[in-house]
Each structure stands twice: as structure tokens, then as C-alpha cells.
Structure 1
């Protein structure tokens, strides 16, 4: 059966691929098989991947909000836009969970010009800069021009002392992080130039998706028990992660949730952030 991707290209429906993505939500084999059976009865020639995803999400949600939330991870990260400011905060939280210090939204002087730096991180006295490339569409990819441009910015700031974590910090490394993917030329250029890349599926054993799952760093936008407006309000209050909701009932009260809804949100967040390995 042929289905239509976000880009408009037509591909063969891959049931096994869909099953793998459903299992990564944490749902049991029995639940996943039940979801697949329901989808089998509703899909048709020419259906879009967006509609298949929506079907799967709604069916998972009937079983468990937290399973649907995990399945919704990629879309939830895209909700950290539209400008990507909250995506930068999310990435800072990711590195903090791995033992780094982190600061966001910096302006640093370079040898030639000044530069806006999305995130700076530090571990063991080693300071690195992170440039975040946020995309609101699944099909967008960061091509070779991105690392070429960022390498020039890194070279302009790396030989100077900066006041970031101390009064005399030197930036010794550079990351580029995207919520989508890099082209093969981009990864080849970055590898050759000493730049570190992190995307939804790269590197294979340490991708953005894997790191989020391993550390349970799900963005608050994953939560299915909140509306889009409520999620935006929490982000503005600097509540970026689902785990930050668990011990922050006050934030949920501030955005106007009833006691019963607060109970449901806390339940979903707690289940979502339990240790999970796909």
C-alpha cells in the first residue's frame, strides 16, 4: 500500500517500522498489536503519514497518556518553537542533566565581530558553544552550509577570553544541535572540521531521541493532559521539562488548572518520567 509522506513523496507503507515506533512508546506488545490492527482497518491507498500518526497517537492515548506522550516526542520538540528559543533552553537542560554547567542566550565578542551564542556549556574546565538549528517541519534538514557557517563563528570567538562561567573562559569546542537531521555532506564536513553534531537520529548510539529517553528529559509539550495554550504558559514560566511539573503544583495552579486536572497532569508526568529504556 502506498502512503504519502510530509514532503509529498510516495512510499510503501512499512508496518514493521510503525510497530517499532509504537513499541518505543513503552506500550506492551499486546497494546501495540491492538493499535496496529485498528490502523490496518482504517488506512487506505494514498493516506498521509500525518493521518497514520494521528490515528496511532489517539489509539495509544486510550491505553495510556504517558505512552502517547512518548510517542509524541518529536512533535512535542517541534512545539518548542516557532523561533526555537525554548528549544535552546531544552538543549541546555539536556546537557545539565549530563553533568555540565550551561548558560543560554549569550552575546560574545569575537576577533572580528560580536556573536549571539545559543548555549555555552562547561565540564571539567572545558567550555564549548552550542548552536541550535530548530525546524518546525519534519522534512527540513541542515545542509553543509550550516556547519561551514558555524565553523567560521567558532573560529572567530575561540581565541579570546570570555566572561561566561568565570572571568577568563576560552571556548574550546563547538556543537551544532538540530531537532531534525543533517545531510550526509553536513556530517562529513563537521567530522573533518572537528565540530560535534547532535540531531534527532545522529549519532546513532547517542542521538537526541536516545538521550531524551535515557535521561527521561521529556519536554513539557509532550504532556497530553495539557492544552497547547497551557503548555505555552508553562514554557514562559521556565517550566521546560515534564519532570519539572512533578514537584511544581504551584505552576499548574497559576495557569488555572482545576485540582482534578492537576492530579491528571501530575499522574501523566510521573508515569512519563519513570525509568524507561526502549
Structure 2
């Protein structure tokens, strides 16, 4: 059976790959097998991966909203766009959860010119800058030009005094974070240049996906019980992580949710973040 990817390329339908992604949602083996059986009866030659995804998502949602939310994670990260401003705040939250201090949306003076810095982080008085490369399309990758360009910016900023966390801070390291993937040349150049990379699947044992799942750092855009407009309203109110709704549930009423819908959202958040 041939299927069509987002990029337009044609590949064989891979049952094992789909099963693996469904199991990552937290659904049981029985639920996943039931979903796969339904999908296999409905797919046809030339079906798009997007249609398969929508079918799988709908079937998972019937079983559990939180399972569907986890399965929706990569799409949810893409919904932190289109400009990527909320993605930058999300990445800051991720590092904060790991014990860092973080500042976003900075303008710092380099040796030669000024630079906008997406995120600055500090742990044990060691300060690093993070440049976020957000892609709205899942097939877009960050190639070698990205770390080459960012290295030049880092070199212009490092070893100079900046007002970030204190009045006299020095940037000593640099990260590049993307919601998609880096090309092999980009990874090789970054490793050679001392830049830290974080992408959807890199580094293999500590990728963006694995960090999110490990600490339940799911964005509000994962939630299936909210509309896109409601998610946007929460993010504008600086609610970026789903878990942040637990202590700010009054915002759900403020954006117009009925008491019953508030209850459903809180139930999904609790299940998604393992608070039950």
C-alpha cells in the first residue's frame, strides 16, 4: 500500500511505525490494535499521511482525550506559531523546569551590532543564549546555514558585558532549538563549533520529544477539549503549559467556558500530566 507524505513523496504504509507512534500516546496495546484494525480497513492506495493522522487522532479521542492529546504533540508544537513567539516562551518554560532561570525576547549589543536573542538561560551562574528556529511545516528542516549564522551572532555577543539576569552578565554558551529536525551537516557543524542542538528527535536520548514526555511539559495546544481560539486566549494570558491551567483554572471561565467544559478541560489536563 502506497501513501503520500506531506512533502509529496510516495512511500509504503508502515504499520509498525504507526503502531509505535500510537503507543507513545499512552494508549494500551489493545486500544492501539483496535485503532490499527479500523485504519487498515479504511486506508486506500494514495491516501495522505495527513488523512491517516486525522483518522488515528479521532479514534484515539474516542478512547481518551489525553491519549489523543499526546498523539497530537508534534502538531500542537506547530500550533505555537505562526511567528514562533509562543514557541520561544515554551522553550523557556522547558529549561525553567530543569532548574534554569530564563529571560525571553532580549535585545543585546554585540561587539559589532545589536542582536535580538530569543531566550537567555542561567544555571550555576553559567549563562547561555538560545536561538529558536520555528517551522510551521513538518517537512522543513534546519540546514547547515542555520548554525553557521547563529555562531557568528554568538561570537559577536560572547565575552561582552550584558544586562540580563544581573548588571554584568557574560554569555558563555549557545543553543539552537527547533521543533523539527537538523540536517546531518547542521549537526556536524554544530558539534565541531561547540554549539548545543535540540530538535524533535535530537539528541537521541534527550530530544525535545523525550524531554516533554519525561516532565509532562505539554503545551496547551495539545488539549482536545479547547478550540484554537481558546488556546490562543490562554497563551496571550501567559498560560503556555497545559499543567499551568491547574492553578489558573479561573481563566477558563474568563475566556467563556461553561462549568461543564471547565470540568472536562481540567480532567484532560490531569490525565495528560499524570495528576490523577
For the aligned pair, the TM-score class normalised by the smaller chain equals: over 0.9
Q: Deviations over 1:71-130 (max 9, x none)?
A: 000000000000000000000000000000000000000000000000000000100000
- Provide the C-alpha distance between the structure 2 equivalents of 1:40 and 1:82, rounded to a whole number of angstroms: 33
Aligned-partner Cα distance in 2 for 1:250–1:119: 29
Q: Deviations over 1:223-246 (max 9, x none)?
A: 000000000000100000000011
1:132 paired to 2:132: yes
In the TM superposition, what are the counterparts of 1:72-221 in structure 2 within 5 Å?
72-221=72-221
* Partner Cα distance (1:245, 1:14) in 2: 37
- Paired position in structure 2 for 1:30: 30
Look up the match of 2:58. 58
| Structure 1 counterpart of 2:18 | 18
Cα distance between partner residues in 2 of 1:7 and 1:165: 43
Q: Hey, what's the Cα distance between the residues in 1 that align with 2:13 and 2:136?
A: 24
Deviations 1:25-82 (A, max 9, x none): 0000000000000001000000000000000000000000000000000000000000
Q: Which ranges in structure 2 are unaligned for 5 or more consecutive residues? A: none
Q: Give the Cα–Cα distance (whole angstroms) in 2 for the partners of residues 16 and 257 of structure 1.
A: 39
Counterparts of 1:268 and 1:178 in 2: how far apart (Å)? 27
Q: Secondary structure at the match of 2:11?
A: strand
SS in 2 for 1:238: coil
Distance in structure 2 (CA, Å) of the matches to 1:59 and 1:97: 32
How far residue 157 of structure 1 moved from its aligned partner, in angstroms, is 0.3
Counterpart of 2:272?
272
Distance 2:13 2:131 in 1: 35
In structure 1, the gaps of 5 or more residues are none
- SS of match in other structure, 2:80: coil
Shift of 1:250: 1.1
CA distance in 2, matches of 1:19, 1:248: 35
State the distance in 1 between where 2:228 and 2:130 align.
28
Off by >6 Å, runs of 4+ in structure 1: none
For 1:191 and 1:248, the matched residues in 2 are separated by: 41
The equivalent residue for 1:248 is: 248
Q: Does the residue aligned with 1:244 lie in a helix, a strand or coil?
A: helix
CA RMSD for the aligned pairs? Answer: 0.6
1:249, CA displacement in angstroms?
1.4
